[in-house]
Structure 1
Amino acid sequence: MALTDTAIRNAKPRERPYKVTDALGLYLLVNPHGSKLWRLKYRIDGVERKLALGSYPELSLAEARAARDAARKQLAHSVDPNFAKRQARIEAGVRARNSFAHVAEDLIEKKAREGMAAPTLKKMRWFVKLMGPDFGKRPITEITPHEILHELRKHERRGRLDTANLLRAFVSRVFRYGVATARADRDPAHLLIGALTSPKVKHFPAITDPVIFGGLLRAIDGYQGDPAVLYALKLTPHLFQRPGEMRQMEWSEIDFDKAIWTLPEGKMKMRQPHVVPLSRQALDLLSEMQALSGSGRYVFPSVRTRMRPLSDNTINAALRRLGYPKDQMTAHGFRTSASSLLNESGYWNPDAIERALAHTVGGSIRRIYNQSAYWSERVEMAQWWSDYLDDLREGGTRCISPRTQPRQGYGIGRVMPTATFRASPLAFYIPRTRRKWG
């Protein structure tokens, strides 16, 4: 006999569960604690199975019968309703984690597990915010290239060309991760390559004229301000590492006996450890700074608290105070200055200079070779460079005539023939602390 709503309401709990049957395998299971659950009994491949449809009164009698009929249609097509229900539940879970913001956060968490630097992870989360909350809630499978371009154009119209292009690349990474994790089937951001205005390449402003650079070194000596800033300004030209690496230098990384500064891979842009040889001048500056901050963690602690290093823009602000505008010199510009002047000297192998700058070369074999092959030359180059800075600070350059005799410079066993000399102040410079003649 078919069930009625009255019969269902009058079904009272008993000591043990019991069934109230309807038709075509549908029945209501009444439990001792009072719950009433819809179940469907069916057979597939000769095996009896049960399918949970829901509870009464959330699922009415009419709705339970409709669910039964839908399940029987699946059986008619040799589809197990339980399997179909499980698949639907999995797909629903995937859809719930299928918004752009969710996929982006999963990618960021993956990169964090792989050891990506905290500043890079922070920047990735900033990119998600830049795309806007409404965009972040959109299912990744429904986002079109036009939607992405609409968000990117907002930044392009404001003149933020670099941001717009970086955002496109980030969105593309998120979609590629979505494809790899079976939550998307394409990367619509890839189709937008070339759609945005390309920003003009901007190089960090830097002083590459040796005479003007000497004036900067003298200006640094006259800096009036926090001692940590003064010594950071003095040491940066000698070591020419990235501003973030300089300001976060720790005493535990300095080995005075071996005259080296070891930067762990976690601090490096290329995620590889880097060792910097320290000249006599650099060691002297560090020794003087040790008397001021040696009891703390950081070589150059913040003015506000010794628990943190100097802030991001401290060195740039100090350069502004010294009268050097941002279009003439920046903290990062010391790297450009060193690279230009060292290459201009003609003494040093360009690969050794690149290693000193912690630039990564392509190819795993060549990268391993470059990490060790130029160490002796880098040690000599570090002292030569500091000696040269001292000479510039004192207002002069020492030159010899290119027509006199060839030189054997500070490079390892390298004799430079006169034909390779170039007519520049650096090309014939011999520091007065070490003169070597061919």
Structure 2
Amino acid sequence: MPKRQSKVLEDSNLRSRVASGIPCALSDGDGLTFTLSAGGTAAWTLRYRIGGRRRELTLGRYPDLKLVDARKAAAKARVQVESGVDVAVEKQRRKAADALAWTVRELLRDYETRVAPGLAASTAFGLLNYMRTDILPALGSRVARDVTPDDAQSLIERATGRSYWAGANARKAGIALFKHARARRIVVANPFRAVNMPSIAAQPAKRQRVALNAEQMRTFMLGLPTLAPIDAALAELLLRTGVRIGEALSAEWVDVHAGEWHIPREKIKTRKRMADSAFVIRLHPSTRAVFERLRALSAGSRWVFPALAGGQDRSMDHERALDRLKDYAATLPNFPAIVFHDLRSSVRSGMRALNIRVEICERALNHSLPGLPGVYDIVQPEQVADAFVQWGDYLDGLKAGGKVVPIKHNAI
């Protein structure tokens, strides 16, 4: 039986074949084959048998892969075949794995496109904020499948350096992002689920809410010009409307029109207990003036409170805004330490001091009314609007230096 020839091809012959453009398949021996397609594509393939089946592995294109290099690649592949490896199948697996070797930045873009639009606006707003603020700067260039629980823990520890809740929210955002990665078969396990907050920091005791009294509210408002204009506007808007900070920071200009602020249901924390599609606040003239200042400050952004850095496509960062509020409060004489929610508490207690009925105060803050009052005491929109008129007039009086003693109104 004649011995099979190998290494029979020559570069000069291959070049002439390519120049001719005539389709062909030329064997170099031991399964290595040069092919030229009708379309003029020249390539190297290795033909082999494994498990009794004929298989082919594409090694590369000619002349990118020269003859000598094709022979080396074929020899290496044959060693694997002799070891029982189906090299064509293995190549397909590697290509599939490489296609899913997304960076965390690519994963976040996919999350923004596929997942975030299906979430409630307030949920998406919070998660994306921490993904962009904490996860992207630390892990954006990393391959997602290479992120380890140690990486996740280090990131959460850094966030916890700002506050316990910053760490907890960064962990929540990481879990959400890598849950999507698992669904896309990009990672096998979620590295953020392996991190437990108690191992990093103890949850702080529940903080007692602060409700500012009249003198404190006057001090607070009179000092606002010392803040950056957008921070001053945010603080005044919260004190005038009593909205939650997330509702304010996620506000878009499309929500503000005709003297009203429509907060869409999907942006509201307690949306599951809401029947209406939006919570509507009829704006006091002084509150409208705040929005007019904000319009000038927003520089064409769709957000009422655009990010101070990072472009107009993002809204202001909650944590950094809170830090600035705390720093401001610390400069005021004999003034308590406050957070954003304390301004909301101040609105409720202040309205009650104006003799506004409790159920109207609750509806003004978009609280659902529990039990029988929620069924039988129907609060009309006009009553809520009138409450905001009284509240706005009262704040204007404080700001102008009027008497601190609240004016008694008839109950509404």
Report the TM-score range of the alignment, normalised by the length of the smaller protein.
0.5 to 0.7
- Please state whether the residue corresponding to 1:137 is helix, strand or coil: coil
Q: Which has the higher helix share?
A: 2
Pairwise CA RMSD: 5.2
Distance 1:146 1:199, change over 3 A: same
What per-residue deviation string (whole Å, max 9, x for no partner) do you get for residues 119-169 of structure 1? 753441222245356xx52552x544334334444455x564333333333
Question: Is 1:262 aligned to residue 262 of structure 2?
Answer: yes
- Partner amino acid, structure 2, of 1:216: M
1:125 corresponds to which letter in structure 2? Answer: R
* Partners of 1:223 and 1:322 within 8 A in 2: no
2:26 to 5, 20, 23: 20
The yes-or-no answer on 1:335 pairing with 2:336 is no
Matched residue, 1:63: 73
Does 2:18 correspond to 1:11?
no
Aligned: 1:86 with 2:92: yes
> What SS is found at the alignment partner of 1:175?
helix
Equivalent residues in 2 for 1:131-146, closer than 5 Å = 131-132=138-139, 136-140=141-145, 142-146=146-150
Partners in 2 of 1:320 and 1:305 — Cα distance?
25
Q: 2:358 aligns with which of 331, 337, 348?
A: 348
Which residue of structure 2 lines up, in the alignment, with residue 39 of structure 1? 45
Q: What residue in structure 1 maps to residue 202 of structure 2?
A: 198
Deviations 1:375-410 (A, max 9, x none): 734542452465477579544357xxxxxxxxxxxx
Query: For 2:29 and 2:230, how far apart are their aligned partners in 1?
Result: 86
Are the equivalent residues in 1 in contact too, given 2:26–2:33 (CA < 8 A)? yes
Residues 69/284 of structure 1: CA separation in 2 closer, same or farther (3 Å cut): closer
Residue identity matched to 2:142: K
Match of 2:280 among 251, 276, 280: 276
Quote the Cα distance in structure 2 between the aligned partners of 1:186 and 1:229: 41
Range 384-393 or range 317-326, more displaced: 317-326
1:216 matched to which residue of 2? 217
Secondary structure at the aligned position of 1:338 is classed as helix
Partner of 2:114: 110
Change (3 A) 1:68 1:276: same
Counterpart-to-counterpart distance in 2, 1:178 and 1:229: 37
Q: TM-score, normalised by structure 2?
A: 0.64
- How far apart are the structure 1 equivalents of 2:99 and 2:369? 44
Question: Residues 238 and 386 of structure 1 are in contact (CA less than 8 Å); yes or no, is this contact kept in structure 2?
Answer: no
Q: Is the 8 A contact 2:7 2:29 kept in 1?
A: no
- Structure 2 segments unaligned to the other structure (5+ residues): 307-315
Q: Matched residues in 1 for 2:221 and 2:295: separation?
A: 19
Q: 1:304 to 1:138 in 2, by over 3 A?
A: closer
**How many residues are paired up?**
367
Q: CA deviation at 1:34?
A: 9.3
Q: Deviation at 1:355?
A: 5.0
Asked whether the equivalents of residues 207 and 329 of structure 1 are also in contact (C-alpha less than 8 Å), the reply is no
Q: Which amino acid aligns with 2:188?
A: D
Asked if structure 1 preserves the Cα contact closer than 8 Å seen for 2:298 and 2:305, the reply is no
User: What SS does structure 1 have at the residue aligned with 2:292?
Assistant: coil
Question: Which of the residues 121, 126, 133 maps onto 2:128?
Answer: 121
Q: 1:171 to 1:123 in 2, by over 3 A?
A: closer
Letter in 2 for 1:121: L
Mapped partners of 1:335, 1:304: distance in 2: 24
